[in-house]
Amino acid sequence: MKEIVPSPPPVVRNEAAAVQALFQQHVVPSYGRFDLVLSHGLGAYVYDVAGKRYLDLGGGIAVSSLGHAHPAITEALVEQSRKLVHVSNYYYHEPQGRLAQALVQLIGPGKCFFCNSGVEANEGLFKLARKFGHDEGRFEILSTLNSFHGRTLAGISATGQDKVKKGFEPLVPGFRQVPFNDLQAVRDAISPATVAILIEGIQGEGGVTPATPEYLLGLRQLCDEKKLLLLMDSVQCGHFRSGRFQSFQRILEAVPGGQDFLPDAISMAKSLGGGYPIGAFWVRAPYADLLGPGTHGTTYGGSPLACAVALRILEVIQRENLADNVRKVGDYLRQGLEALARKYPAVVRSIRGLGFMLGIELAPNIQNLPGDASKMQSSRFVNMLHANSLLAIPAGPDIVRLLPPLNLRRSEAEEGLSILEIVASRLAG
């Protein structure tokens, strides 16, 4: 494969300080950014403007499902954009119908709605739940502590982390949080106004915590008993990241009765578009027509271009059996990380997660960790990884996430582990 190196734009000569100065002057400073100015990528690698190469095990926060500059994505973009980029949802077109069919086949009987991002997919779930309970006056959605559901007002209202809500009150009414993986806590919290329960199959931003099989099966039973919708936010943990299309399929695969489990609705985004923005939700058959004509919509949602890219990604995943790759290379990564935790207990406390959604829990108060002590340990650790040419993503103060592309090779995983070992051994002194 030929490496694609874009020529620098005329004014900014792709120089790190100049690009950063543009941001400081003209971009709203709502993100805490790392000190990296990236230029291009290929597969699991990205390059900064100085030409330094990084192994990208962060995958753009679980988005770059086929890595960078994958030729199948480029081809889909080029081919489809020659035919039809956008038409609006006043009309039918083949890519949206085919993508919906593909997602339904991967999940179960139901229908899909398309939008542009994860939080927008969640908004669809919230509106679905409100519509479902409307005539009985039920509207309340129970979500979980340490969850993350996106940054709109409803998204932060659903999210179980105070830091995203602070300064934006009053929040959207009708959301309450209960502890995750605690069935009794949900049962106790149900009120006459409750209409749905919302969880992530594997909590992502909150620190890479998978739901237990008992929790999933128990929630299904509870929702059936109390006439509640069971909503799953699969924006991060879905799309084969666990080794199965949906994380609940992986969590429940060896559990008696687990194969029959289905939530009532699932939100998706991130890996679905591999970097081209697309979100979606699937809703189970009995409720699939609740949102009738005129009740919900978005101008760009499910455009021919977005759907063509998502379809092509699914084809590559299936043709190359990447679910299997995620299991094999994911197991290899996990074993390597667990060996690090055993060897450097003063640096790595534990390893969590499934497949290619792995969390490295750092030991409390690591000695010798460089950087401003007021900053999170996870960010300071990630800075050290950057210095050693590895990208990873912080999740809360003490967890570092690996969310690599689904086609990551074993040799690349090995390279990542050796960089982590260099950093861990240095910190262990």
Tell me the C-alpha to C-alpha distance, in Å, between residue 121 and each of 118, 270, 402, 405.
Answer: 5, 11, 24, 22
Among 420, 417, 376, smallest CA distance to 398 is for: 376
Among 334, 391, 344, 286, smallest CA distance to 64 is for: 391
Among 241, 161, 254, smallest CA distance to 202 is for: 241
Site for ligand PLP in 214-233 (CB under 6 A): 233
| Total count of residues recorded for the chain | 429
DSSP state of 297: -
Letters for 133-172 (x = contact with ligand PLP by CB under 6 A, - = none) are: ---------------xxx----------------------
CA distance 275 to 77: 12
Q: Which residues of 284-314 are buried (b: 16+ CB within 10 A; e: fewer)?
A: beebbebbeeeebebebbbbbbbbbbbbbbb
Name every residue whose Cβ is closer than 8 Å to that of residue 52 and which is 6 or more positions away in sequence: 389
Letters for 310-329 (x = contact with ligand PLP by CB under 6 A, - = none) are: --------------------
Comparing CB distances to ligand PLP, the nearer of 80 and 146 is 146
Q: How far is the CB of 374 from ligand PLP (least distance, A)?
A: 26
Q: Which of 58, 204, 273, 405 binds ligand PLP (CB under 6 A)?
A: 204
Number of residues lying near ligand PLP (CB under 6 A): 14
Residue nearest to ligand PLP (CB): 118
Q: How far is the CB of 382 from ligand PLP (least distance, A)?
A: 17
Query: Catalytic residue at 180?
Result: no
CA distance 185 to 183: 5
Among 148, 176, 143, 142, smallest CA distance to 161 is for: 148
Site for ligand PLP in 345-364 (CB under 6 A): none
Letters for 238-267 (x = contact with ligand PLP by CB under 6 A, - = none) are: ------------------------------
Query: Catalytic residue at 375?
Result: no
Q: How far is the CB of 156 from ligand PLP (least distance, A)?
A: 11
Site for ligand PLP in 110-129 (CB under 6 A): 117-119, 122
Name every residue whose Cβ is closer than 8 Å to that of residue 86 and which is 6 or more positions away in sequence: 300, 303, 304, 305
Among 383, 384, 420, smallest CA distance to 402 is for: 420
Under the binding rule (CB under 6 A), the answer on residue 269 touching ligand PLP is yes
Kindly name the residue from 56, 114, 270, 281 that is annotated as catalytic: 270
Comparing CB distances to ligand PLP, the nearer of 158 and 348 is 158
Query: Catalytic residue at 148?
Result: yes
SS percent in the chain: helix, strand, coil, step 5: 40, 20, 40
Torsion of CA 84, 87, 89, 90, to 10 degrees: -130
Kindly name the residue from 48, 233, 264, 398 that is annotated as catalytic: 233
Letters for 183-202 (x = contact with ligand PLP by CB under 6 A, - = none) are: -----------------x--
Kindly name the residue from 114, 126, 132, 148 that is annotated as catalytic: 148
Q: Which residues contribute to the site for ligand PLP (CB under 6 A)?
A: 117-119, 122, 148-150, 200, 204-205, 233, 235-236, 269
Residues carrying an active site annotation = 148, 233, 270
